[in-house]
Chain A
Amino acid sequence: MIRKHPKTLLVIVAEAVLEKNLVRDVRERGAQGWTVTEVHHAGREGVREGAWEADRTIELKVICEEAVADAIAEHVLQAYAPNYSVAMWFSSVAVLRPERY
C-alpha cells in the first residue's frame, strides 16, 4: 500500500473581495499552496449568486499542518468574520508528498 501522510485541509468560503488578503494571510502563516475557485454561496447573511462584481464568492482550499490551519482560521475569524460573510471548516486528509504542504 502506498504510504500516506496526515495533513489538515482548511476550506474558507468568503466574499471574493477578500481573495487578495486571504492569499496573503495564508502565505504569511506558512502554507505553501492553495486553490481558489469561484462559487455561489448562501448563509445567514443572505444569498450570494455572483451576479455582479461585488456579489462574488470564492472558496479557498489550503492543505497544511494542523497548527498552520489553526493559525489561519484564528486570524480569519478575528480579522474578517465580524464584517464579512465567511464560512470555514477543517477536515483530515492524507497526502503523498508531505514536504509540499
Chain B
Amino acid sequence: MIDVVVLFFLLGVVARLVKSDLRLPEALYETLSIYLLLAIGLKGGIELSRQPIAALAPQVAACVALGFAIPFLLFPVLRALRLGGADAAALAAHYGSVSVVTFAVATAALARAGIPYESHAALWVAVMEAPGLVAGILLARAAARREAAGGVGRGTHWGELARDVLFGKSVLLLLGGLAIGAFAGEAGTEPIRAVFIDPFKGVLALFLLELGLVAGARLKEVRRFGSAVLVVGLAAPPVLALAGAAVGLLLGLSTGGVAILATLAASASYIAAPTAMRIAVPEANAALSITAALGVTFPFNIVVGIPLYIELARRLTA
C-alpha cells in the first residue's frame, strides 16, 4: 500500500498536469519547509540527548565521505552521456547533496512498516547536505580548467560559499533543531510536542502537495532535455542507493538505518544545491539539474524508490 503522504504528492502532480489553478501561497511553502526542517532536527536531537555523542563520530565521517564521493562517481557517467563539464558537475552535486523531504518520507514509510531505525538519523541528513556541493564545485573547476574555454577564469569564493551553505536555512535549521532537541531532551521539549512532533505527518502531506505542483511543472520540461535527464533521474538513484546501503552495512546500522542511508544516497537536493550551484557554477544549466532532481528523481524515489530501498535493506540485513 502506498503511503498516504505520497498520495498528496500525486494529487499535486495531477493538479498541475490538468492545469488546475491550485497554488499554495509562497509564504506557506516557506513556513512549511521551515517547520519540517526544525521538526526533523528536533526529533533527531531528542534522541541524541540519550546517547554519547562521541560514538556517532564514525557515522558522521562515513556520511560526509559518502556525500563527497557521489559526485565523483556520477560525473564520468554524466560526461559519457554527453553533458558539458559544468552541467555534469552541477548535476552531480545535486545528487551528492540530499533531499530532506525524501528522508522524511522514508522515515514515515519505515514507521508504518514497523521497522525501527536510528532515531538520530537527522544528524546524517544535516552532515550530508554540504560535502556533495563542495565536490561538485571542485569537479566544475577542474572541468573548466581542462576545457580552458575562457570566461570561467574566476575563482570560487569559498568563504562566502561556506557561509551560504552552512548558515543557509536547511543546514541551520536542521543543526539548530538537533542542538535544541539534544539540549532540552525529552522532558524539555514536551511543551512544544503538540506543535513540532505530533502534527508532523500532516504537515509533510501538505508540503508534498505543494512539491507535487512544482514537480508536475518540471515534468513537462523533461522532454526539453531529452533522454539524458530521464536516464540519469531514474537510473542514478537505485545505483547510488546500493552505495548508501553498503556504507550502512559497514557501519553496522539497523535495517531501518541501512534503508535511510540508501535513501539519502539516492536522493537529490532541490533546496540547497540549486542555490549553491547557481552561485558557484553559474555557467551550468540550472533548469537541467532541477528537472532531473525534482521532476524525475524525487517522484521516483518517493513512489518507487523508498519501498525498493527498504526491501533492499531487509534482504541485506536478514
Contact = CB atoms under 8 A, between A and B. Distances in A.
Interface in B233-283: 270-271, 274-275, 278-279, 282-283
A50 B29 CA distance: 11
Interface in A1-38: 15, 17, 38
A51 B274 contact: no
B26 A50 contact: yes
A49 B290 CA distance: 14
Give the most central of B26, B283, B290: most A CB within 10 Å.
B26
Interface in B131-161: 151
A54 B278 contact: yes
Contacts of B286: 54
Interface of A: 15, 17, 38, 46, 49-55, 80, 82-84
Contact of B214 (A38, A51, A80, A83): A51
Contacts, number: 36
Contact of A17 (B26, B151, B279): B279
Interface residues of B, number: 18
Nearest to A21: B279
Given A38-B26, A52-B214, A52-B294, 9 more contacts: A15-B278, A17-B278, A53-B274, A54-B270, A54-B278, A54-B286, A80-B282, A84-B278, A84-B282
Nearest to A46: B287
Nearest to B282: A83
Given A46-B287, A82-B151, A83-B283, A51 B278 contact: no
18 contacts: A17-B275, A17-B279, A51-B29, A52-B214, A52-B270, A53-B271, A53-B275, A54-B270, A54-B271, A54-B274, A54-B278, A54-B286, A54-B290, A55-B214, A80-B282, A82-B151, A83-B282, A84-B282
Given A46-B287, A82-B151, A83-B283, A52 B29 contact: yes
Contacts of B294: 52
Interface of B: 26, 29, 151, 213-214, 217, 270-271, 274-275, 278-279, 282-283, 286-287, 290, 294
A7 B271 CA distance: 39
A94 B287 CA distance: 40
A14 B278 CA distance: 12
Contacts of B279: 17
A16 to B, nearest CB: 9
Contacts of B275: 17, 53-54
A38 B294 CA distance: 23
Contacts of A46: 287
Contacts of A17: 275, 278-279
Contact of B213 (A51, A83, A84): A51
Most buried by A among B286, B287, B290: B286
Contacts of A82: 151, 283
Contacts of A49: 217
B290 A51 contact: no
Contacts of A54: 270-271, 274-275, 278, 286, 290
Contact of B217 (A51, A53, A80): A51
Nearest to A56: B26
B89 to A, nearest CB: 14
B271 A52 contact: yes
Closest 7 CB pairs of A and B: A54-B274, A83-B282, A17-B278, A51-B214, A54-B275, A83-B283, A53-B271
Contacts of A80: 282
B28 to A, nearest CB: 12
Contacts of B282: 80, 83-84
